[in-house]
């Protein structure tokens, strides 16, 4: 078993509650507790592709990845354990989806770190499920209640739209920069002075805004968008469709499902896993880029200025440039050079 999160440790203090139950896990799972959980049966619905990768190796078909759960998958569950994410709207979207499919009377446990706002679960579900706190430890709260009535849920009602110049951007709860273009992405977009040609990969694409804006002004560009979030993948597909753009959208944990080479890789990479600061994905992005770029291909990313990416870019590519910066962000550019030739003479 991998190291457990504080939320999982609090949950295990109540392990007797789950013996003999048909448990459905969902929400912001960050460890493999479900794969080793003592219950009559365990299933997991996750909106995160890397969580699905972690659990599916041992749980196989008992793990489902997707934007919304389906009735057949959750059927038979008599207890829901939901891990609270950092986005309240994402929690509402996921919980209302799940509770619309689960039977009245089902036990509902909600667990999460206090700083994530898990306390608001009581108010959010007040008319559906009277939650009460049953434990508090490790700076986490555990809440329990029983479902009194199923909510109505229509995934189409959760879409939001905003414009970036002439580009229509479609977003869903939990997608980065849901309310509008963030200043880091704007700085990255403004660093492009000419149309782009060739194959471009956008990693951690979110709503697909970077790829869509660049493709709109670069008719000879071929875009591939990738992300681990089911909501981001659906939003990216919708953004491309709204702007009549062609592109491929791939679920991938950085390069896990990426094949082939590109002329450019772009990204506004995350540096959090849930609420915790984590540079792991960004480090993978930089180190692995040389294996997915053509010779002369470029990696162009935007990041908070305090993050230590300059040394990593130099170690990986040999050098880098700072194309743009402001008080918070820097845009980095690194180019894959031609590998050194082997000058040793072959023995005759």
Does the global pTM surpass 0.75?
Answer: yes
> From the DSSP assignment, how many helices (H) and strands (E) are in the chain?
10, 18
Instruction: Show the DSSP H helices in the chain as ranges.
Output: 6-12, 49-59, 71-74, 88-101, 121-124, 183-190, 209-216, 230-242, 280-289, 309-317
Residue the block writes with tokens 């203090």: 13
Structure tokens at 339: 């590998």
Residue the block writes with tokens 């700072």: 322
pLDDT (average), residues 45-70: 96
Task: Check if the beta carbon of residue 315 is closer than 8 Å to that of residue 289.
Answer: no
Task: Check if the beta carbon of residue 272 is closer than 8 Å to that of residue 202.
Answer: no
Which of 8, 284, 326 has the alpha carbon at shortest distance from 138? 8
pLDDT tens digits, 1-44:
568 999 999 999 999 999 999 999 999 999 999 999 999 999 99
Average pLDDT in the chain: 93
Pairing of strands 329-335, 293-304: antiparallel
Domains and CATH numbers, the chain: 6-154 (3.40.50.150), 159-336 (3.40.50.150)
What is the DSSP secondary-structure string of 52-114?
HHHHHHHHGGGEEESSS--HHHHTT--EEEEE--S-HHHHHHHHHHHHHHSPTT-EEEEEEEG
Q: Tell me what pLDDT residue 70 has.
A: 93
pLDDT tens digits, 80-133:
999 999 999 999 999 999 999 999 999 999 999 999 999 999 999 999 999 999
Q: Tell me what pLDDT residue 2 has.
A: 63
């Amino acid at each position: 078993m991998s190291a457990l999160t504080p939320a999982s440790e609090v949950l295990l203090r109540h392990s007797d509650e789950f013996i003999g139950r048909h448990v459905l896990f969902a929400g912001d799972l960050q460890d493999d507790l479900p794969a080793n959980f003592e219950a009559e049966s365990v299933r997991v619905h996750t909106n995160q592709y890397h969580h699905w990768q972690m659990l599916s190796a041992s749980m196989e078909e008992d793990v489902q990845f997707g934007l919304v759960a389906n009735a057949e998958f959750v059927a038979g569950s008599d207890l829901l354990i939901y891990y609270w994410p950092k986005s309240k709207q994402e929690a509402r979207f996921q919980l209302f989806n799940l509770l619309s499919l689960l039977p009245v009377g089902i036990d509902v446990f909600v667990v999460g770190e206090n700083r994530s706002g898990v306390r608001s679960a009581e108010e959010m579900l007040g008319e559906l499920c009277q939650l009460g706190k049953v434990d508090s430890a490790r700076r986490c709260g555990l809440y329990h209640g029983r479902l009194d009535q199923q909510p109505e849920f229509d995934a189409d009602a959760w879409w939001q739209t905003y414009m970036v110049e002439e580009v229509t951007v479609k977003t869903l709860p939990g997608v980065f920069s849901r309310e509008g273009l963030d200043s880091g992405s704007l700085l990255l977009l403004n660093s492009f002075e000419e149309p782009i040609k060739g194959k471009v990969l956008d990693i951690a694409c979110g709503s697909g805004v970077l790829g869509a804006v660049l493709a709109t002004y670069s008719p000879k560009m071929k875009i591939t968008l990738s992300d681990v979030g089911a909501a981001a993948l659906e939003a990216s597909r919708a953004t491309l469709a709204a702007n009549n753009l062609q592109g491929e959208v791939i679920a991938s944990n950085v390069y896990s499902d990426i094949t082939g080479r590109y002329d450019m890789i772009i990204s506004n990479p995350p540096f959090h896993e849930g609420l915790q600061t984590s540079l792991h994905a960004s480090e993978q992005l930089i180190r692995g880029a040389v294996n997915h770029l053509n010779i002369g291909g470029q990696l162009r990313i935007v990041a908070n200025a305090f993050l230590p990416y300059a040394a990593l870019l130099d170690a990986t590519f040999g050098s880098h440039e700072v194309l743009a910066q402001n008080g918070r962000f820097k845009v980095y550019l690194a180019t894959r050079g031609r590998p050194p030739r082997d000058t040793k003479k072959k023995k005759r």
